[in-house]
Structure 1
């Protein structure tokens, strides 16, 4: 199944500018790092969580060079105990598999169930890099174009201090 093309179709249909390139499978930041291009974009790490009741899901996006402690995140979000969402939940809410999580998975959430938290420091970055729902490629998207994407997809999001 081609998971990239729906992302490209969504962006193209809305006139959202981006560039992309293919590379070998890169399910982790450590592996992906060897394929990154020096293009001025901020490579982001994306984690998918659920609350303790399992009725709320959160995508958290932050600088790939930083670490994120889940307990600190819980305190900052004030959403109760968080755990990583299962692969089944990831497939249900984002249409994704582990190793390919990205904000582009929000195109597979027509109910806008998933809330996106972005680290506030990303506001200082001119462009971002994410997998296009397939960890064998990277999309580079200017910040203003990414914000257009978020407006088009319709999920709630906010920039918060994560570290």
Structure 2
């Protein structure tokens, strides 16, 4: 999870996380894994993941800038403003251990 204004360096992400062949998720995978589609993906989709096979990473810059973050609530017609601490609590309650990395 990173600021939408920051470009994603897939090679750097792979080096930081040890992930292999990183790419943007296909629409079918987004729907199956998160119950979402491109343009609406947010941490709130984690509650739709039945397999819990998703790793959650935050770019540290995003967390350092503001204690309030904004996300779509699985639809792009609304926006939720949420404290960073509350978002982390939500993610952990969904069964995930978010990692903070420096992209």
TM-score (norm 2): 0.90
Residue of structure 2 equivalent to 1:27: none
CA contact (8 A) 2:68 2:81 kept: yes
Residue of structure 1 equivalent to 2:86: 145
Residue of structure 1 equivalent to 2:68: 127
CA contact (8 A) 1:113 1:155 kept: no
Structure 1 stretches of 4+ with a deviation exceeding 2 A read: none
Q: Deviations over 1:37-81 (max 9, x none)?
A: xxxxxxxxxxxxxxxxxxxxxxxx112221112222222221111
Matched, 1:159 2:103: no
- The 5 A counterparts of 1:1-163 are 61-124=1-64, 125-162=66-103
- Root-mean-square deviation (CA, aligned residues, Å) is 1.3
Cα 1:145–1:123 change in 2 (3 A) is: same
Shift of residue 113, structure 1, vs aligned partner: 1.1
Q: Deviations over 1:2-34 (max 9, x none)?
A: xxxxxxxxxxxxxxxxxxxxxxxxxxxxxxxxx
CA contact (8 A) 2:70 2:81 kept: yes
DSSP-derived class of the 1:63 partner? coil
Instruction: Name structure 2 gaps, 5 residues minimum.
Output: none
Question: Aligned partners of 1:143 and 1:85: how far apart in 2?
Answer: 25
Highest RCO, 1 vs 2 (Cα 8 Å, sep ≥ 6): 1
TM-score (norm 1): 0.59
Q: More strand by proportion, 1 or 2?
A: 1
Larger Rg computed on CA atoms:
1
CA contact (8 A) 1:107 1:153 kept: yes
